[in-house]
């Protein structure tokens, strides 16, 4: 009885409240909080692109490069093609989404290739399988047949960008130092390859030792250090013509560790004079030499912030190698590295959020990242020798050189989170990688 | 310059084109990408988390069922940090009604980041709900309309 009285009272109170507020007493949806997502590769399906004429094996090869690009990030996982239920035989055929849902494909990429007249054209659609439709518009990329891998990378970049919300990095190249011969007679020459190790070509011969190549922001020039004059000097190469000219030649000095400013108009580098090494800047045309640091210490490895306002560099002014940041015009520098060990080869992320570096501590080398104020240091790798980080154009992946005891240096990449460490296949030993911008 | 096409449902649409020829072996490639505007979905408010007639165990079971399909691996850092409320209707068969999913509120990121985060959350609901969620039939009115708060606090490997 008392329970009935309580319920009636409650109903009356509720009705009164409704009358006072004038609002209908509708139940609000129940809210439930979720806080623990999983982090695992997203399964995707990529049926072999349809040959719409003249493509031949290229249709399968393009499909393979796209799948390898996506799976190689560690963020995606390709569902084996023998698990597919629907057989895609026409680009325009309706997609049976339940068939792809059944195999847990969270993304589906369908496409077709045309290969007539020395050209290749690839059209593709990215499907949101659980929304029964395409994710964005279907697109087409085209180019010379000889550029089919670039076309494939473009497709993969578009897919990556749509799913992650970040720009891709597959259609990019890496310049590096290719090494050959015995260690006491090492031959080093500049080489350039696709980001995934394919399409290697050589930019210099092995007549003189070369070091530390760096792409210009537009990818059309490369700075590097060469011993062709008998001592280190910096040079700039036009990538299209392979023509080379010296930069900032000063009698009685050595210059090395060059890097472009974000606008491509200025070069920062180290200059050794009378046993002391400081950082200087120079107009790309060779004029306007300016000294940026003035210290009896060794100051080297300068790298601009993406907005061009600051330079990060390494110096042993405190007694051992540490990382410092100063204004792009020089002046007082602040130390940003603070942990145990020695820090070197800092490189500012193209996103501006992190500085990548090499760290040597307790007999091990590491590639790490820290926020630009030096906080939140994360070591991404550990090895006998890991050194020389370079950022992917989207700032999400770092490539570097690794050398095991008794072995040759090889190129590796790792995600900025520390996941997905993998070796980049090269023809022989390789060191000093530098990533190009995303190609136009 | 080469003509490039944006294709939708088999028909060619408008597009833009750029030409690139910068590196050895890379000459003559042209490309384009249609730009799709992102809808304005960023809403900001203070949320209230309610707990009505469902038992703690039911709520936990439901939460786990959705979370195991909520995959943030491919999202940018910004998108991972987006917190959002997604409203949905669940049918008597315990499966989500696909057309009912809607972004109620979101905060903590750009529109693009919200869009990416929403897609991942929506996919989680549809993917893990396709065989029905573990919900008690006798309390259908309690769970017919839900608002799910996605706030990643500890992503698990």
Q: What is the pLDDT of residue A27?
A: 62
* Nearest beta carbon to residue A39 from set B18, B66, B156: B156
Report yes or no: A427 at the B interface, CB cutoff 8 Å: no
The domain A42-164: what is its CATH number?
Answer: 3.40.50.10070
Is B44 part of a structural domain of the chain?
A: no
Q: Which chain A residues are closer than 8 Å to B116 by Cβ?
A: 163-165
Contact A322, A337 (CB under 8 A): yes
Q: Do B70 and B128 fall within a single domain?
A: yes
What is the DSSP secondary structure assignment for residue A238, as one 8-state letter?
A: E
CA A239 to chain B, closest CA, distance in angstroms equals 6
Q: Do B26 and B93 fall within a single domain?
A: no
Q: Cβ of B7 and A30 within 8 Å? A: no
Distance of CA B145 to the CA centre of its chain: 18
What is the DSSP secondary structure assignment for residue A333, as one 8-state letter?
A: -
Low-confidence residues of chain B, pLDDT below 50? 1-51, 155-157
Q: Do B89 and B143 fall within a single domain?
A: yes
CATH of the domain at B111: 3.30.1150.10
Q: Do B95 and B145 fall within a single domain?
A: yes
> In whole angstroms, what is the distance from residue A127 CA to residue A124 CA?
10
Distance of CA A92 to the CA centre of its chain: 34
Q: Do B66 and B143 fall within a single domain?
A: yes
Report yes or no: A153 at the B interface, CB cutoff 8 Å: no
> In whole angstroms, what is the distance from residue A424 CA to residue A236 CA?
26
Q: Do B29 and B60 fall within a single domain?
A: no
Q: Cβ of A35 and B2 within 8 Å? A: no
Report yes or no: A220 at the B interface, CB cutoff 8 Å: yes
Is B26 part of a structural domain of the chain?
A: yes
Angle between helices B56-67 and B111-128 (to 10 degrees): 110
Q: Do B85 and B137 fall within a single domain?
A: yes
Q: Which chain A residues are closer than 8 Å to B37 by Cβ?
A: none
Q: What is the pLDDT of residue A206?
A: 83
Q: Which chain A residues are closer than 8 Å to B149 by Cβ?
A: 31-34
Residue of A nearest to B29 (CA): A143
Residue of A nearest to B111 (CA): A165
> In whole angstroms, what is the distance from residue A149 CA to residue B23 CA?
13
The residues, ordered by sequence, that sit 6+ positions from A1 with a Cβ below 8 Å of its Cβ are none
Q: How far is CA A241 from CA A220, A221, A237, B13, B52, in A?
A: 10, 10, 8, 38, 72
Q: Which chain B residues are closer than 8 Å to A106 by Cβ?
A: 71, 123, 127
Report yes or no: A200 at the B interface, CB cutoff 8 Å: no
Is B19 part of a structural domain of the chain?
A: yes
Sole residue written with tokens 């999913």: B101
Which pairing describes strands A50-51 and A107-114: parallel, antiparallel, or unpaired? parallel
CA A164 to chain B, closest CA, distance in angstroms equals 5
CA B38 to chain A, closest CA, distance in angstroms equals 10
Which CATH topology does A174-435 take?
Answer: Neuraminidase (2.120.10)
Q: What is the pLDDT of residue B60?
A: 94
Per-residue pLDDT of chain A (440 residues; tens, 9 = 90+): 344 444 444 444 444 444 444 444 446 789 999 999 999 999 999 999 999 999 989 999 999 999 999 999 999 999 999 999 999 999 999 999 999 999 999 999 999 999 988 999 999 999 999 888 999 899 999 999 999 999 999 999 999 999 988 899 999 999 999 999 988 888 999 999 999 999 999 999 988 999 999 999 999 999 999 999 889 999 999 999 999 999 978 888 999 999 999 999 999 999 999 999 999 999 999 899 999 999 999 999 999 999 999 999 999 999 999 999 999 999 999 999 988 999 999 999 999 999 999 999 999 999 999 999 999 999 999 999 999 999 999 999 999 999 999 999 999 999 999 999 999 999 999 999 999 999 99
Q: Do B27 and B71 fall within a single domain?
A: no
Is B46 part of a structural domain of the chain?
A: no
What is the DSSP secondary structure assignment for residue A276, as one 8-state letter?
A: E
Is B49 part of a structural domain of the chain?
A: no
* Nearest beta carbon to residue B28 from set A147, A163, A239: A147
Q: Which chain A residues are closer than 8 Å to B54 by Cβ?
A: 30
Is B94 part of a structural domain of the chain?
A: yes
CA B29 to chain A, closest CA, distance in angstroms equals 4
* DSSP states along B53-83: SS-HHHHHHHHHHHHTT-B-TTS-HHHHT-E
CA B10 to chain A, closest CA, distance in angstroms equals 6
Q: What is the pLDDT of residue A24?
A: 43
CA A190 to chain B, closest CA, distance in angstroms equals 13
CB count, 10 Å around CB of A2?
6
Residue of A nearest to B76 (CA): A164
Q: Do B30 and B60 fall within a single domain?
A: no
Q: Write out the residue range of the structural domain in which residue B11 sits.
A: 1-36
> In whole angstroms, what is the distance from residue A176 CA to residue A401 CA?
10
Contact B68, A183 (CB under 8 A): no
Contact A418, A380 (CB under 8 A): yes
> In whole angstroms, what is the distance from residue B126 CA to residue B90 CA?
11
Q: Do B30 and B69 fall within a single domain?
A: no
Q: What is the pLDDT of residue B157?
A: 42
| Token digits of residue B154 | 């500890």
Is B23 part of a structural domain of the chain?
A: yes
Q: How far is CA A146 from CA A119, A150, A194, A199, in A?
A: 8, 9, 14, 11
Q: Do B31 and B60 fall within a single domain?
A: no
Tell me the HSE value of A40 on the side-chain side, using a 13 A CA sphere: 12
Q: Cβ of A33 and B49 within 8 Å? A: yes
> In whole angstroms, what is the distance from residue B20 CA to residue B31 CA?
8
Contact A361, A325 (CB under 8 A): no
Q: What is the pLDDT of residue B77?
A: 83
What is the domain count for chain B? Answer: 2
Sole residue written with tokens 């390494």: A314
Report yes or no: A23 at the B interface, CB cutoff 8 Å: no
Per DSSP, the three-state class of B16 is: coil
Q: What is the pLDDT of residue A15?
A: 41
* Nearest beta carbon to residue A164 from set B69, B116, B141: B116
CA A336 to chain B, closest CA, distance in angstroms equals 23
Nearest to A169 by CA among A147, A195, A192, A139: A195
State ipTM.
0.71
**What does the pLDDT look like over B125-150, one tens digit per residue?**
999 998 899 999 999 999 999 999 99
Per DSSP, the three-state class of A310 is: strand
Is B145 part of a structural domain of the chain?
A: yes
* Domain edges within chain A: 42-164, 174-435
Q: Cβ of A29 and B145 within 8 Å? A: yes
Q: Do B28 and B103 fall within a single domain?
A: no
């Amino acid at each position: 009885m008392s329970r009935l009285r309580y319920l009636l009272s409650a109903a009356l109170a509720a009705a009164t409240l409704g009358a006072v507020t004038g609002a209908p007493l509708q139940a609000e949806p129940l809210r439930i909080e979720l806080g623990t997502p999983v982090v695992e590769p997203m399964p995707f399906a990529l049926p072999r692109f349809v040959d719409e004429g003249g493509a031949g094996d290229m249709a399968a090869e393009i499909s393979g490069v796209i799948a390898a690009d996506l799976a190689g990030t560690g963020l995606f996982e390709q569902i084996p093609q023998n698990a597919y239920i629907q057989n895609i035989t026409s680009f325009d055929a309706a997609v049976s989404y339940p068939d792809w849902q059944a195999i847990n494909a969270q993304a589906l990429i369908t496409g077709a290739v045309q290969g007539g007249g020395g050209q290749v054209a690839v059209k593709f659609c990215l499907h949101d399988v659980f929304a029964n439709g395409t994710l964005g518009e279907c697109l087409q990329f085209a180019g010379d047949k000889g550029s089919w891998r670039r076309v494939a990378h473009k497709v993969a970049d578009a897919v990556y960008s749509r799913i992650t919300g970040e720009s891709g990095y597959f259609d990019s190249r890496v310049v590096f130092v290719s090494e050959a011969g015995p260690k006491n007679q090492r031959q080093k020459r500049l080489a350039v390859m696709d980001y995934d190790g394919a399409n290697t070509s050589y930019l210099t011969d092995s007549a003189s030792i070369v070091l530390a190549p760096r792409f210009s922001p537009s990818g059309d020039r490369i700075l590097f250090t060469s011993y062709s004059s008998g001592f280190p000097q910096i040079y700039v190469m036009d990538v299209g013509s392979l023509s080379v000219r010296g930069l900032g030649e000063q009698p009685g000095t050595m210059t090395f560790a060059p890097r472009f400013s974000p606008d491509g108009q200025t070069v920062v580098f180290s200059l050794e004079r009378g046993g002391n090494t400081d950082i200087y800047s120079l107009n790309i045309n060779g004029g306007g030499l300016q000294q940026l640091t003035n210290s009896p210490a060794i100051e080297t490895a300068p790298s601009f912030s993406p907005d061009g306002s600051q330079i990060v560099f390494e110096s042993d002014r405190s007694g051992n190698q540490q990382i410092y940041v100063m204004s792009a015009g020089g002046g007082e520098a602040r130390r940003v590295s603070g942990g145990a060990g020695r820090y070197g080869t800092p490189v500012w992320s193209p996103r501006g959020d992190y500085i990548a570096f090499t760290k040597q501590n307790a007999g091990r080398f590491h590639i790490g990242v820290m926020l630009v104020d030096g906080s939140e240091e994360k070591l991404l790798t550990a090895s006998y020798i890991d050194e020389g980080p370079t950022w992917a154009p989207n700032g999400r992946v770092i490539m570097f050189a690794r050398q095991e005891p008794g072995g040759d240096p090889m190129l590796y990449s790792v995600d900025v989170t520390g996941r997905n460490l993998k070796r980049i296949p090269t023809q022989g030993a390789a060191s000093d990688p530098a990533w190009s911008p995303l190609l136009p | 310059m080469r003509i490039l096409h944006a294709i939708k449902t088999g028909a060619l649409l408008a597009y833009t084109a750029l030409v690139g020829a910068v590196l050895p072996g890379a000459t003559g490639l042209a490309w384009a990408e249609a730009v799709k505007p992102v809808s304005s979905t960023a809403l900001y408010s203070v949320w209230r988390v309610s707990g009505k007639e469902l038992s703690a165990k039911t709520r936990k079971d439901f939460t786990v069922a959705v979370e195991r399909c909520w995959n943030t691996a491919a999202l940018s850092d910004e998108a991972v940090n987006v917190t959002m409320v997604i409203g949905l209707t669940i049918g008597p068969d315990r499966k989500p009604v696909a057309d009912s999913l809607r972004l109620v509120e979101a905060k903590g990121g750009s529109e693009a980041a919200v869009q990416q985060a929403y897609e991942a959350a929506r996919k989680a609901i549809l993917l893990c709900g396709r065989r029905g969620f573990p919900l008690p039939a006798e309390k259908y009115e309690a769970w017919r309309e839900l608002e799910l708060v996605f706030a990643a606090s500890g992503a698990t490997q």
